[in-house]
Amino acid sequence: MQKNYPNITLINKEKNEGYAKAQKTGFNIALEQGADIVVLLHSDGQYAPEEMPRLIEPLLKDEADIVQGSRMLSGEALKGGMPFYKYIANIILSRLENICFKMDLAEYHSGYMLYSKKALKTIPFENISDTFHIDGEMLFVGHDLGLRIQQLPIPTRYAQEKSNLKPIKYGFDVLKIMLKYKQGKYNFKKPN
């Protein structure tokens, strides 16, 4: 792969430390190599890589610090095969999160996230959780630190892929994060 794509850095971790640790490793390496934009795209086939140029645009134009591709904004999530229970759970959890975090996002649970260098230098991502919930945490911590967040609609593609996500546990974990937030456990100071 390196031979055909010399600009791609392949990161081979000896041990699977989970989703968030892999993401944090990627963020750190991207910053070390001077990346201006970092794109996080889940590899489960639900998110269209073809949308990337459109999603990067607000970062290139300095109109946003974080961009999220949102399945919920398109109004087509169910037509794209999103299971009904996931659709309803996403709506309910996101509404609760909006109340808790004093934000107005269509969702917090997308696997299509784009970050500017400024965002990654501002958010103390090493100090937030090592769980699958890091993406939502990046959103509300970034918001609290004054970063500009944009959501853009993306198509939804659900096929026959098998998810290892346990929906009930996932929902309760989100509720625990909101409780921790209300207890002040995500109060990070703005960098000078």
- Among 68, 31, 71, 40, CA closest to 147: 68
- pLDDT for 192 equals 56
The total of structural domains in the chain comes to 1
46 pLDDT above the threshold of 70: yes
For residue 28, the domain's CATH number is: 3.90.550.10
- pLDDT for 2 equals 59
Question: CA 168 to CA 94: how far, in whole Å?
Answer: 15
Q: What is the mean pLDDT of residues 60-75?
A: 94
pLDDT digits (tens, 9 = 90+) for 99-156: 999 999 999 999 899 999 999 999 999 999 999 899 999 999 999 999 999 999 999 8
76 pLDDT above the threshold of 90: no
pLDDT digits (tens, 9 = 90+) for 146-187: 999 999 999 988 876 666 678 889 999 999 999 999 999 999
Average pLDDT, the chain: 90
Domain assignment present for residue 67? The answer is yes
Question: CA 8 to CA 38: how far, in whole Å?
Answer: 13
Domain assignment present for residue 191? The answer is no
Helix (H) or strand (E) holding 41: strand 37-41
82 lies in which domain range?
A: 19-182
Domain assignment present for residue 192? The answer is no
Question: CA 59 to CA 106: how far, in whole Å?
Answer: 19
190 pLDDT above the threshold of 70: no
9 pLDDT above the threshold of 90: no
Domain assignment present for residue 34? The answer is yes
4 pLDDT above the threshold of 90: no
Q: Rounded to 5 degrees, what angle do the CA atoms 91, 46, 5 make?
A: 140
80 pLDDT above the threshold of 90: no
Domain assignment present for residue 168? The answer is yes
pTM, rounded to two decimals = 0.91
